[in-house]
């Protein structure tokens, strides 16, 4: 705890010390732009300097504390977004959120993130997962969504049906990256619990994307009829299955075609063309572009490029991932307004949805049918919401369903669930190991 406070203090001090220089530079950039003596891209470049510096410094500090870098990106974004509050109005960076070019880069970052998730998943592994993984995923989606909806409608009934629905949908997400890291560090990736968690996480991602499409469709159309839900569900399933089946046939042909070309960078360009086409097709069908991005990653996972001069697609995508994805998370943090938490109701909703998000994932243990597997460990491994929860929250804010207060409450929930997962998981595994040794 002392280490955490120390690093956060250093980070806040660094931001405050740099603020006068940053504020001065910002005013100079804006003045130059308004007087016609500057390239229009200059303010965008300045915004990127601030965002990427915050992302990497924050990520480094949290990595040193054995915490995921995304938490550092979020928290430093929150610091930047609230410097006006912390400095009595002297420094403000609200224009970073309003910059259209930066917003587009953040959206591209989300697409690259889901594309990478798809690349790291495997269709064959998804088909091989046992009944336990499937049941864990189903329970882990249904229970948190129902609990989130009713807790939200109980605490803030005035927020409206769409807001309650989106809050419930946000709680369905699971970020397995943190859990996988802990299991790897403890050399427990071959345990039954690890296999169930990792298998369920893949199914969870697909179900989460379908739910996101359904909820977004309901919000946009304004109807809650059974027909609309069935239509959106079928559209999502047909798109995912259809695009994957067609892609699996087309991908090897694409790989063979690209491998015979000599132009430099053709592999990465082809991968991104595929990503953009799939995302665009998803949008045409009324689905979120990230659904198409995820499907594109799944399809290209097994593509064999015979040209040995270039690296695997995941390696080629990594540099762009490291640049564009942090922009999204810092921007999410900047949009969190701490003064909104002066309202006791918002603090209550933040704590309320955090509590049900943890309880809801513990219900996952009910789906564990594998003999000898710890239901508690599986439930804890599914707690962290991470990046996917933030994507849900960002889309909810974009659609106007979530205001600043509710958006901030969800971000706090994501941070808390991400922080509690590693120590709880280590405790649960150690508890089981001790019980086995005592037998």
Most confident by average pLDDT, 54-68, 151-165, 330-344: 151-165
C-alpha–C-alpha distance, residues 327 and 103, integer Å: 9
Please indicate, yes or no, if residue 411 is contained in any of the structural domains: yes
> Do 72 and 123 sit in the same domain of this protein?
no
Please indicate, yes or no, if residue 439 is contained in any of the structural domains: no
Counting the structural domains of the chain, the total is 2
Can you give the pLDDT at residue 176?
65
Q: Return contacts of 70-75, CB within 8 angstroms, 24+ apart.
A: 70/329, 70/386, 70/387, 70/418, 71/415, 71/418, 71/419, 73/326, 73/329, 73/330, 73/333, 74/329, 74/330, 74/332, 74/333, 74/390, 74/411, 74/414, 74/415, 75/8, 75/11, 75/333, 75/415
**CATH number of domain containing 301:** 1.20.1530.20
Q: What is the pLDDT of residues 173-183, one digit of tens each?
A: 777 666 766 67
Most confident by average pLDDT, 124-128, 205-209, 301-305, 379-383: 379-383
115 has pLDDT over 80: yes
Q: What is the pLDDT of residues 254-263, one digit of tens each?
A: 777 776 777 7
In this prediction, residues 112-120 reach a mean pLDDT of: 80
**Looking at 81, 98, 115, which one is the last position of a domain?**
98
pLDDT band at 147 (very low <50, low <70, confident <90, very high): very high
Mean pLDDT for the chain?
77
Q: What is the pLDDT of residues 43-77, one digit of tens each?
A: 788 888 888 998 898 888 888 887 777 778 888 88
> Do 166 and 40 sit in the same domain of this protein?
no
**Looking at 47, 73, 98, which one is the last position of a domain?**
98
**Residue that wins the pLDDT comparison between 26 and 356:** 356
Please indicate, yes or no, if residue 438 is contained in any of the structural domains: no
**Residue that wins the pLDDT comparison between 334 and 91:** 334
> Do 372 and 290 sit in the same domain of this protein?
yes
Can you give the pLDDT at residue 1?
47
> Do 228 and 298 sit in the same domain of this protein?
yes
Q: What is the pLDDT of residues 227-281, one digit of tens each?
A: 766 776 777 778 777 877 877 777 777 777 776 777 777 788 888 988 999 889 8
> Do 34 and 131 sit in the same domain of this protein?
no
% of the chain residues with pLDDT over 90: 5
**Residue that wins the pLDDT comparison between 39 and 5:** 39
pTM of the model: 0.72
Domain that holds residue 136: 102-431
Contact 268, 250 (CB under 8 A): no
> Do 374 and 246 sit in the same domain of this protein?
yes
In this prediction, residues 300-313 reach a mean pLDDT of: 62
> Do 416 and 332 sit in the same domain of this protein?
yes
């Amino acid at each position: 705890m002392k280490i955490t406070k120390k690093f956060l203090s250093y980070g806040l001090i660094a931001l405050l010390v740099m603020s006068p220089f940053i504020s001065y530079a910002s005013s100079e950039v804006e003045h130059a732009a308004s007087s016609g003596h500057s390239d229009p891209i200059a303010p965008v470049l300045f915004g990127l300097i601030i965002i990427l510096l915050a992302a990497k410094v924050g990520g480094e500090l949290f990595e040193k504390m054995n915490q995921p870098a995304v938490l550092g990106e979020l928290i430093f974004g929150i610091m930047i977004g609230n410097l006006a509050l912390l400095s009595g109005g002297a420094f403000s960076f609200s224009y970073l959120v309003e910059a259209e070019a930066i917003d587009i880069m953040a959206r591209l970052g989300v697409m690259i993130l889901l594309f990478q998730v798809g690349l790291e998943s495997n269709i064959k592994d998804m088909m091989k997962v046992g009944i336990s993984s499937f049941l864990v995923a189903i329970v882990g989606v249904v229970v948190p969504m129902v609990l989130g909806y009713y807790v939200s409608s109980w605490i803030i009934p005035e927020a409206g049906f769409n807001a309650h629905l989106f809050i419930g949908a946000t709680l369905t997400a699971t970020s397995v990256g943190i859990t996988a890291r802990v299991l790897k560090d403890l050399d427990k990736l071959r345990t039954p619990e690890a296999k169930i968690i990792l298998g369920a996480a893949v199914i969870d991602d697909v179900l989460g994307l379908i739910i996101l499409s359904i909820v977004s469709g309901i919000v946009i159309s304004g109807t809650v009829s059974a027909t609309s839900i069935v239509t959106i569900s079928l559209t999502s399933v047909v798109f995912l299955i259809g695009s994957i089946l067609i892609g699996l046939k087309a991908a090897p042909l694409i790989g063979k075609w690209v491998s015979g070309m000599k132009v430099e960078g053709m592999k990465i360009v082809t991968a991104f063309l595929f990503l953009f086409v799939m995302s665009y097709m998803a949008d045409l069908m009324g689905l979120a572009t990230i659904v198409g991005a995820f499907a594109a990653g799944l399809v290209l996972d097994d593509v064999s490029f015979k040209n040995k001069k270039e690296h695997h697609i995941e390696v080629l995508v990594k540099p762009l991932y490291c640049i564009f994805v942090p922009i999204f998370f810092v921007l999410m943090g900047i949009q969190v307004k701490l003064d909104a938490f002066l309202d006791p109701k918002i603090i209550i909703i933040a704590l309320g949805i955090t509590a049900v998000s943890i309880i809801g994932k513990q219900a996952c243990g009910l789906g564990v049918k594998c003999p000898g597997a710890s239901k508690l460990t599986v439930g804890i491994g599914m707690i962290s919401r991470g990046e996917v929860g933030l994507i849900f929250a960002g889309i909810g804010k974009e659609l106007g369903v979530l205001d600043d207060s509710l958006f901030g409450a969800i971000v706090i929930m994501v941070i808390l669930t991400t922080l509690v997962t590693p120590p709880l998981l280590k405790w649960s595994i150690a508890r089981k190991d001790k019980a086995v040794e005592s037998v």
